[in-house]
Amino acid sequence: MNLSDISSIKKLLSSQGFSFKKSLGQNFLIDSTVCPAMAEAACDENTGVLEIGPGIGVLTEQLSKRAKKVVTIELDQRLEKILNITLKECDNVKVIFGDAMKLDLSKIIAENFFDCEKVAVCANLPYYITSPIVMMLLESRLPIDNITVMVQLEAAQRLCAQVGTRDSGAVTVAVTYYAEKEILFEVNRESFLPSPNVDSAVIQLKIRKEPVIKVNNEEKFFRLVKACFAQRRKTLVNTVSNTLGIDKSVLKNALLEIGLTETVRGEQLSMEEIAQLSDKI
Q: Where are the beta strands (DSSP E) in the chain?
A: 28-29, 47-52, 69-74, 93-97, 118-124, 146-152, 179-187, 192-193, 200-207
Residues 266, 228 contacting (CB under 8 angstroms):
yes
Of residues 52 and 67, the one with the C-beta less far from ligand SAM: 52
Residue 112's alpha-carbon distances to 3, 115, 167, 277, in angstroms, are: 26, 8, 38, 42
**Minimum distance from CB of 215 to ligand SAM (Å)?**
31
Q: Which residues contact 27 (CB under 8 A, 6 or more apart)?
A: 20, 124, 127, 192, 193, 194, 195, 196
Q: Which of 178, 114, 120, 182 is nearest to 146 (CA)?
A: 120
**Minimum distance from CB of 92 to ligand SAM (Å)?**
17
Core vs surface per residue 162-195: b (16+ CB within 10 A) or e: ebbeeebbbbbbbbbbbbebeebeebeeebbbee
Residue with nearest beta carbon to ligand SAM: 53
**Minimum distance from CB of 175 to ligand SAM (Å)?**
20
Q: List residues binding ligand SAM (CB under 6 A).
A: 24-29, 52-55, 58-59, 73-76, 99-101, 124, 126
Of residues 42 and 260, the one with the C-beta less far from ligand SAM: 42
Of residues 35 and 274, the one with the C-beta less far from ligand SAM: 35
**Minimum distance from CB of 94 to ligand SAM (Å)?**
14
Of residues 58 and 275, the one with the C-beta less far from ligand SAM: 58
Of residues 32 and 231, the one with the C-beta less far from ligand SAM: 32
**Minimum distance from CB of 248 to ligand SAM (Å)?**
41
